[in-house]
Structure 1
Amino acid sequence: MTQKVFISYSHIDEPFRQELEDHLAMLKRDNLISVWHDRKIDGGDNWKNEIDKNLDSADIILFLISSKFLASDYCMDVEVARAIEKEEEGTGRLIPIIIRPVDWQASQLSKFQAFPKDALAITKWENQDEAWVDVTQRLRRVLADFVPNTVPVQSQLDLSNDIKVSNSTLDWLNSTEISFSHRHVDLVKLSHIFVWPDLLLDQDVKDIEIIDSKKLVSQKGRYFITGEEQQGKTTLLKAIYKEALLGSIVPIYIDVKNLKSSDLNKMLEKALNSQYENLDLNKSQDFEVILLIDNLDENGLNRKGLNRFLESVEEYCDWVVITAHESYSLMASDITYLAEYKEAEIQGLGHYKREEIARKWISLGQEETIEDKELYKRCEEISAYLNSIIRKNILPPKPIYILMLMQMHEASTKQNLDMTSHGHCYQKLIYQDLEKAKVKSAEIEKYMNFLTELAWTIFSNEGPLNLHFKEEFFKQYNNTFMQVDGNRLIATLSHVPILKESDGLLSFSYPYIYYFFTAKKIAEGYQTKPEVKDAFEKLLAGFHREDYSNILVFITHHSKEKWVTDEINNVLSGLFKEQTESKLNNEQLSFMDDFLSQIPQLIIQTKSIQESRDERNKRLDKLSRENADDERENDDVPSDILVSINKTFKGMEISGQILKSRHATLEKSILLTLAENGTSTGLRFLDYFISISDSTKTEVINIVLSLLSESSDISNSELEDQAKKAYYHLVYSVINGVVRKIASSVGSREAYEIYVELEQKSDSPAITLIKQAIDLQFNRNIDFVELERTNLKLKSNPVCQHILKEIVVQHVYMFPTDYKEKQRLEELFGLPVKRQRLFDSNKRGKG
């Protein structure tokens, strides 16, 4: 929802108000805010009425504080007083912005968190653009976190003074259904943590369309929304309900689970009676209505009754949102009255939405006190943690799981010392599902053993079990262990998302559960059962496969035995063993010098941290969707070299996973060997790439030249020059990408001293560059002593220094960096800060 910003100021401070509006342009362009101030009052209007009306309807109130503002009776006695009331009601957020030094803390505004940072007046900043950027970044965070109170919203509805939403409905709208604990608040409400999920539109076209679900409230129509169990279907309807109320639309929620009658009027009367005060069916026809129908897949009507019910819905209103389980979408095509509905599927939370919910969680209870540096540092930490657990959607990124994982991360409790923190998280999610299935505590171990053996059988069978193999499994299990009723266990586990039976095949509901139990079997049986040891060797030989590499990662969660790291190190050592490690020294990279001399100078743009992070996360989401499509379409058996490349990158990830999760329990010498092997493998591949690029340079340039010549009318010499630049740019991009990939895969904040020791043992510029990338990415702050030392070591190496500059610039975009730090970077690297146009503070004001 676009939030309304009210700006109050003294007219002598008009230049500051105009400069603030310039800096709010991106927020307006993104439809996050609309802005009102008294310069928008038309001639002839009653200025006091206009100010009062717009102040009352504002979500965010910005006061530009100066001595003139505090001296204004109207500003302080009327506008500030009303803004404080709105803050106390929860209908508005009051934010003082200190523009000129003044003793504002003696006023009633002193209890509110002031902008910019440390309440340092705008005019006292060395660079006023930096001050305004700080203000807009903080405001963007407030916009993301602040949800106006629902209760006072009723007085704003243009329905009737006597129509109100019932208290029970307000409680339901704020309920999270599942209780979450948080260190800074006693009760976590839905409004604290909700983010609008993305929807995948079903349009029968190749190009998918992803939309924000908030559009369901702004774009009138009939929508049929599907999603998996616990995907957030009911929660989405709650959010639509609240958003509709804010827009003076009457939402009506109907749960049709176990529906036995098609009489819509009776359901509407019952719903209106429970959800509103003084609103009946006849009166509702006088207003814009949005009908929210939940759990259509669980209705108890036959086909005839359901069509009659949906026909009544169509006659009653033309703004409808219906939800159902995703499996019901197959039946929907046979239901006449659903044919005209726009069908969409709720998506899991991608990188962009995960960071949004993480930001809400971190800020909860300290929205006005947490500093940007702390917020974004913790955001990056939680995002990295979530990404490492979710991986390539082996755990579905449903809001409920994301919230559980963040709660676990905050609690940092680990009961099984043999298992990593990641392994403990997976196990806890499985235990919660067993509790949900009402499995007794005394039977938990029986179920865990049954699932372990089932996973092993599915692994050995190389796929789900049909009826014959399922019966064989039951027989074998009961011969080996105490007898169980296999069908009863499967029925119990199929009611929660652990097992599923589809088309006569038995499998696990989600990959992480299958990987967890298969790895558990291998970790426990490796040293005693030959068939298990053979399976582990099979995994090592084929870990270019996604499923095999994931099982290997899960084995590291279950076991800290030395055989795991020894075997993984042996495989890594054998990859590209004919190559030497690339040092990225001048001798190897001299052919790039001319190209680098023509690259434009890097510039640090003055831009919003949140905007930069949003752009990155949206790119990652797009890449994830494209990669998922590629994996579905590519069924070819890869060549030997592609297998080795795939193994290289997955091997680095596995060694890094051990370094991140086992840093406290493995000996330092083992950690150092893992870090060395992971890094060396990546650098041997890089040496291979550089050598093969050099030997095929002419062929590559000719291919690029032929592609360019097809769509260009420039001269041959210019074409050849462009083709050479494209070749060099490709080589540089791969070198840059591999260096960063090594750092992100092998790096770890907790094991940072290992990389320091690794660099001390080496004279390689590549190792120095990787260590510095790890420092910035995982420690998430700039250590200038270390950075100056790195820069000195790489100063005579144009390629490595340019990569270093790019890494530093990327860090500045992702984390708050103050003006003095940017000045030091400018002096150290010659990285100019591109400043926005300074507002002419001498420009004459209008009043």
Structure 2
Amino acid sequence: MQENKALKTFISYSHLDECHVNTFRTHISPLKNNGLVEDWYDRKILPGSKFNAQIDNNLEDADVICLFVSANFLASKACQNEKENALELVDKKGISVVPIIVSDCGWLDDPDLKELLALPTDGKAVTRFTDINSGWKDVYDGLKNTLEQIHRHRNISLTSEFASFLQDTELLAKAHSNKQHVTLDDIYVCPNLVAYDDLKDCETIQSPQMIVDNFHEHLRLCMSGASQSGKTSLCKYLFKSLRDRGLVPVYIRDRHGQYKGKIQNKITEALKKQYNCDVKDIDTEKLIPILDDFHFAKDKEKHINDLAQYKNCIVTVDDICNLNFADESLLQAFSLFNIKEFNASQRDTLIKKWMYLSEAPQKDNDIYQDLDHKTELVNTTLGKAIGRGIMPAYPFFILSIINTYETFARPLNQEITSQGYCYQALIYMYLRKEGVRNDDIDTYMNFLTEFAFYKFSQNKEEISRDEFEVFMDRYLEKYNLPVDQDIVIAKLRSTRILELCDLNNYSFCYKYLYYFFVAKYLADHASDCAKTIETIINNLHKDEYAYIAIFLSHHSRDGNILEEIVLNACCLFDKYAPTTLSKKELHFFDKQAQTIVQAVLPKTVATPEGERKRRLKAQDKIEEGCKDTEEESTQEEHDELFKELRRSIKTVEVMGLIIKNRAGSLEKARLQEFFEEAMKIHLRILNSFFELIRNEEGQLQIIEYISTRVDKAAEQKAQKRRRLGQKEKIYSKEDIDKLARSIFWNTNFMIVYNYISKIVHSLGSNKLIDVVEKVCDSGNTPASFLVKHGILMWYKKNLQVDNIAKGMSGEDFSDTAKKVMRFLVVNHCLMHSVGFKEQQRIEKNLHIPSQQVLALKAKRSKN
């Protein structure tokens, strides 16, 4: 991994000793001529350069730092600062710091210097040698040994077999359609790590790069993560990063052998397989054992004690609690980290890396269309679309989802849709990886289906061992089990489909597995489970039921189930007609048009990449602070309006996912019916909202409340400024009332805009454009017009300027609907590449001002 290049030597000295530096540089000429070293000192700084920055940069980049120690050096503040910085780099980067005693001085009283092995031999000053050249020859020999040792370590090469292992992506290696072999470097994205304190409470979030950069702070690391969380890939990343710093990591994984035997023997054996060198030549000070899947070790405490001879070590486990030591001080010596699931930004980076493996040139908006499609695909399959998720957002799952959709144009089992196949493909992959034969897979699938429904019928998160035995007795009475029972259970636990926790309870490892098999049972027994299915469909506000309903649509072709969902949708907010967003309906809203902020086209310097990055960061914060859905469900039971609203929103999301997944297998008439009824739910909710804010007396009450709050906040700010002796700004009652009114109406407008956006993203798909156009054109209302063009913009990247301008000019198009349309267009421009010519056309035809125009107007008004 390391290039065979000259080592950088930084010379720290007092200018009063410059003659010694020149003599030293002359003596080491053979080392420079042989390419072993290149030296740097401050006389190489060119006139006009930033002096301190040059010194700091070269000090940071040095491989060896030579301190020319003398009384002058010890008395120099600048030299002392360089010494302190050098010693920090010893811990941070593992560089070598060599004191060279040029003249007699009190260096042994310096607590830092006396700990370092100095040159010449035994710390004898160069100037004390009878022949001063002998002194410099002693320095030369000692420095040469140090440089050669560093070179040996840096140039130790890895065996080709282990180098291939470090790049191996296992099941994903042959998964990309446009790249013959996918390596880890091609796709690796660092996860975030949660650091824990001694009590194992969450502390801070760090990246692996931060840990490598500050490795001296974490001499012993323990990283925990669930199955498929990327522990092994993280070990490979750390191995390569530490190797790049001249250290000698050694990777050990003994899952099946349970780490039996002496750990030292395993380290020696691994070094022989991983490095092309004599093990005896390796400096143990630089050796870092990396023990992967250490939770499988039988005698963990003994191994950890044996590792005490090494300054550093890294272990990975599935759970920190698995490091159960009698000597608690052993665990306290470790820095504890847990691998987090990928947030929105990391998912985006990973998807882009996968996409960019294709060498085919694409326009920006074509790339965005592919990216947005894959992102929605991933988020939907992970379960992020309607809740916190049913599958962990780990790289393996994310890329498996994309690969499954890219690889299989149609499912093997025609009774399920493409998304359903993605889940089934993962399950098959687990089983086959564990050695389950193809002719036995049906047995395992049936077993899991029956167990999932048994668990569902018991209404329990997990099943005790005794209850599991009851289930097994019933199962064996009903079904033949051609595979030994213990083997079935062992393989399901080994594949992480089922787990037996430390409390002796059985459950599914991931929620998607549970929902998948419950839905499969219900689909297979639809007539017997009609009442249960009806309960599920009538309570889609519960995440569990929503997910099961989606899986039901995968497994079943029963038209009655879909009909039940449509009938349920028709009953939601049925006291209100769907809003049309027409002038007549929104006359009261349009009167406030001047109060509502206008949409503005972005500056040309505002890039889609920058905007997308900002939105991803906002999504990261939302996901990080997302409350547990169970808490939300408990809260909503006490609020009927909230419950009905959540139920309606969830129903739309479920219906949207069904038509997206069944876009090619449901009849057009049914797709249109589903789309239309789902859209009407949101439009009915909007109409109920308009009824709420239409009353002028109610408006005044809310505005007065906002005004009171604003006045209080303004007074608090004024008091603070008075305390600080700052000039305070006086707000009149009229100013505060005006601001309150603006807040009220702009909040209302954003609710309208967000509901239209919700329809677009809940129901839109590039596979449903014909359906969307048919339903929306048939509706022929401003509301349906907004939905149609919102979907065209996001899912087809198609902004039809002329058609939008023509539609907005219609007599029935309310000013509020026009504003929503303009905001949808601006949102499109923010997220996609739109050239200057196209921006001018949008500005002119849709009457959307640009920020440049507004800035120019403001400048003129000042003049």
TM-score scaled by length of structure 2: 0.73
Q: In structure 1, what is the Cα distance between the partners aligned to 2:734 and 2:622?
A: 36
Give the conservation status (yes or no) of the 8 Å contact 1:656–1:748: no
Matched, 1:533 2:526: no
Give the conservation status (yes or no) of the 8 Å contact 2:660–2:765: yes
Look up the match of 2:706: 704
The secondary structure found in structure 1 opposite 2:403 is: helix
Q: In structure 1, what is the Cα distance between the partners aligned to 2:200 and 2:804?
A: 50
Matched, 1:444 2:441: yes
Amino acid at match of 1:549: A
Return closer, same or farther for 1:789/1:239 CA change in 2, 3 Å cut-off: farther
Q: In structure 2, what is the Cα distance between the partners aligned to 1:453 and 1:746?
A: 33
Look up the match of 1:756: 773
Matched, 1:217 2:212: yes
Look up the match of 2:490: 491
Aligned-pair distance for 1:387? 1.2
Aligned-pair distance for 1:404? 1.6
| Partner residue of 2:795 out of 770, 778, 792 | 778
The secondary structure found in structure 2 opposite 1:679 is: helix
Return closer, same or farther for 1:795/1:663 CA change in 2, 3 Å cut-off: same
Look up the match of 1:728: 745
Q: How does 1:55-204 map to 2 (within 5 A)?
A: 162-178=155-171, 179-203=173-197
Aligned-pair distance for 1:259? 2.8
Look up the match of 1:294: 292
Aligned-pair distance for 1:474? 2.0
The secondary structure found in structure 2 opposite 1:183 is: coil
Aligned-pair distance for 1:579? 0.8
Look up the match of 2:516: 516
Amino acid at match of 1:215: M
Aligned-pair distance for 1:730? 1.9
Give the conservation status (yes or no) of the 8 Å contact 1:377–1:815: no
Look up the match of 2:576: 579
Aligned-pair distance for 1:744? 0.8
Look up the match of 2:643: 643
Look up the match of 1:718: 735
Matched, 1:244 2:242: yes
Matched, 1:349 2:342: yes
Q: In structure 2, what is the Cα distance between the partners aligned to 1:689 and 1:638?
A: 21
Return closer, same or farther for 1:698/1:670 CA change in 2, 3 Å cut-off: same
Return closer, same or farther for 1:728/1:746 CA change in 2, 3 Å cut-off: same
Return closer, same or farther for 1:446/1:328 CA change in 2, 3 Å cut-off: same
- State the Cα deviation string for residues 126-158 of structure 1 (Å, max 9, x = none): xxxxxxxxxxxxxxxxxxxxxxxxxxxxx9x96
Amino acid at match of 2:711: S
Return closer, same or farther for 1:329/1:300 CA change in 2, 3 Å cut-off: closer
Return closer, same or farther for 1:568/1:226 CA change in 2, 3 Å cut-off: same
- Of 444-453 and 459-468, the range deviating more from structure 2: 459-468
Give the conservation status (yes or no) of the 8 Å contact 1:311–1:337: no
The secondary structure found in structure 2 opposite 1:397 is: coil
Q: In structure 2, what is the Cα distance between the partners aligned to 1:769 and 1:627?
A: 30
Aligned-pair distance for 1:371? 3.3
Q: In structure 2, what is the Cα distance between the partners aligned to 1:834 and 1:597?
A: 18
Return closer, same or farther for 1:275/1:447 CA change in 2, 3 Å cut-off: closer
Amino acid at match of 1:211: Q
Q: How many residues align?
A: 680
Matched, 1:371 2:388: no
Amino acid at match of 2:441: I
Aligned-pair distance for 1:538? 1.1
Q: How does 1:448-597 map to 2 (within 5 A)?
A: 448-463=445-460, 464-483=462-481, 486-502=485-501, 503-527=503-527, 529=528, 532-593=529-590, 595-597=592-594
Amino acid at match of 2:609: Q
Matched, 1:399 2:395: yes
Give the conservation status (yes or no) of the 8 Å contact 1:363–1:370: no
Return closer, same or farther for 1:725/1:328 CA change in 2, 3 Å cut-off: same
Q: In structure 2, what is the Cα distance between the partners aligned to 1:161 and 1:457?
A: 59
- Of 503-512 and 568-577, the range deviating more from structure 2: 503-512
Look up the match of 1:121: none
Q: In structure 1, what is the Cα distance between the partners aligned to 2:571 and 2:319?
A: 45
The secondary structure found in structure 2 opposite 1:164 is: coil
Look up the match of 2:378: 386
- Of 611-620 and 729-738, the range deviating more from structure 2: 611-620
Give the conservation status (yes or no) of the 8 Å contact 1:390–1:396: yes
The secondary structure found in structure 2 opposite 1:770 is: helix
Matched, 1:284 2:311: no
The secondary structure found in structure 2 opposite 1:210 is: strand
Aligned-pair distance for 1:790? 3.8
Rg larger in structure: 2
- Of 435-444 and 238-247, the range deviating more from structure 2: 238-247
Give the conservation status (yes or no) of the 8 Å contact 2:590–2:814: no
Q: Which runs of 5+ in 2 are unaligned?
A: 1-43, 62-147, 716-730, 854-863
Give the conservation status (yes or no) of the 8 Å contact 2:391–2:511: yes
Return closer, same or farther for 1:435/1:655 CA change in 2, 3 Å cut-off: same
Structure with bigger RCO (C-alpha 8 Å, 6+ apart): 1
Look up the match of 2:407: 411
Return closer, same or farther for 1:329/1:776 CA change in 2, 3 Å cut-off: farther
Aligned-pair distance for 1:699? 4.1
Amino acid at match of 2:570: S
Look up the match of 1:324: 317
Q: In structure 1, what is the Cα distance between the partners aligned to 2:167 and 2:802?
A: 49
The RMSD of aligned alpha carbons is 3.1
Aligned-pair distance for 1:638? 3.9
Give the conservation status (yes or no) of the 8 Å contact 2:194–2:202: no
Q: In structure 1, what is the Cα distance between the partners aligned to 2:544 and 2:520?
A: 15
Amino acid at match of 1:496: T
| Partner residue of 2:423 out of 426, 429, 447 | 426
Aligned-pair distance for 1:594? 5.5
Q: In structure 1, what is the Cα distance between the partners aligned to 2:344 and 2:530?
A: 37
Return closer, same or farther for 1:377/1:601 CA change in 2, 3 Å cut-off: closer
Give the conservation status (yes or no) of the 8 Å contact 2:464–2:504: yes
Look up the match of 1:147: none
Give the conservation status (yes or no) of the 8 Å contact 1:794–1:800: no
Give the conservation status (yes or no) of the 8 Å contact 2:581–2:813: no
Return closer, same or farther for 1:804/1:472 CA change in 2, 3 Å cut-off: same
Amino acid at match of 1:240: L
The secondary structure found in structure 1 opposite 2:714 is: coil
Return closer, same or farther for 1:825/1:699 CA change in 2, 3 Å cut-off: same
Amino acid at match of 1:710: K
Q: In structure 2, what is the Cα distance between the partners aligned to 1:564 and 1:307?
A: 57
Q: In structure 2, what is the Cα distance between the partners aligned to 1:790 and 1:512?
A: 43
Return closer, same or farther for 1:450/1:273 CA change in 2, 3 Å cut-off: closer
Look up the match of 2:225: 227
Identity %: 24
Q: How does 1:815-826 map to 2 (within 5 A)?
A: 815-826=832-843
Give the conservation status (yes or no) of the 8 Å contact 1:224–1:323: yes
Return closer, same or farther for 1:44/1:666 CA change in 2, 3 Å cut-off: closer
Q: In structure 1, what is the Cα distance between the partners aligned to 2:768 and 2:208?
A: 41
Give the conservation status (yes or no) of the 8 Å contact 2:579–2:686: yes
Q: In structure 2, what is the Cα distance between the partners aligned to 1:785 and 1:174?
A: 52
Give the conservation status (yes or no) of the 8 Å contact 1:560–1:662: no
- State the Cα deviation string for residues 206-240 of structure 1 (Å, max 9, x = none): 98743333222222232321101121111112112
Give the conservation status (yes or no) of the 8 Å contact 2:582–2:813: no
